[in-house]
Amino acid sequence: MDEPLEVVTRFCAAWPRLDLDELAGFFAEDAVYHNIPLDPVTGRDAIKSTIAGFTGGVDTVEFEIVNAAATGNVVLTERIDRFISPARTITLPVMGTFEVADGRITAWRDYFDLNQFMSQLAGG
């Protein structure tokens, strides 16, 4: 079984493919995903739908891991997330916390500035 840091590293590396089934497959069936400025979603299907919602209209997404640390089943990531489309690239600094059990992500919390994301989305 992969170590939690390996699971999270593979998950982050999978994003450019934007294969929603592949991304959803990293999660436990009852996982919780919480973009801290927004409401959490629970369950693999709800997480997949949420990912589909914020990746619609982009060609690719990159998660650049700047720093990562793991202790036990918890992995912390400092990332630069990029949402790339023909019209623009949105670049967002993010701190993420992942909890992993039995090779699957059971909880994912991302902390970022929603206003920064929205202003870039609006072209500002």
Active-site residue set? 81, 110
H-type helices in the chain, by residue range?
4-14, 20-24, 44-55, 114-121
Q: Are 82 and 91 in contact (CB under 8 A)?
A: yes
DSSP assignment of 78-110 equals EEEEEEE-SS-EEEEEEEEEEEEETTEEEEEEE
